[in-house]
Amino acid sequence: MSSAGRILTVSDIHGYGGLLEKLLERADYRPGHDRLFLLGDYVNKGPDSEGTLALIESLCKGGAVALTGNNELRWLNNNVAPRWSPFLRTLPLWCKYEGYLFVHAGIRPGVPLEQ
């Protein structure tokens, strides 16, 4: 257990923000006590990509850390939803916390994290 409470991670939400909300409720997620890491792919495939991004942005304002996934990069590269581009550009590719390394899809040996 982390000194700040539990460490929770969720990845590949793919437009199902409503299900993420239910999951966090079921897990009794407590912002300010628990640490929440969202590991990318918030958009595409599901019914509400933009609503999911609004939820992710709100969770970040409450202390969660959200990383970029390949689907967010695709949105940025194809200018899919310009309203979300500024937010998506702020999301890091990786994050270290208490000895853990969080990423979306893995790392390559010999390639610096920044790349």
The string of pLDDT tens digits covering residues 96-109 is: 999 999 999 888 88
Confidence of residue 84 (pLDDT cuts 50, 70, 90): very high
How much is the average pLDDT of 17-27?
A: 98
CB atoms near residue 88 (< 10 Å): 20
List the domain range (segments joined by +) for residue 99. 7-103
Is the per-residue pLDDT at 90 higher than 50? yes
Maximum C-alpha span of the chain: 41
In a domain, 81, yes or no: yes
- Taking Cα atoms as reference points, which of 74, 30, 25 lies closest to residue 49? 74
CA atoms of 48 and 6, how far apart (whole Å) = 28
Those residues whose C-beta lies under 8 Å from the C-beta of residue 111, and which sit 6 or more positions away, are: none
Q: For residue 80, give the CATH number of its domain.
A: 3.60.21.10
Cα 47 off chain centre by: 18
Query: Total structural domains in the chain?
Result: 1
In a domain, 22, yes or no: yes
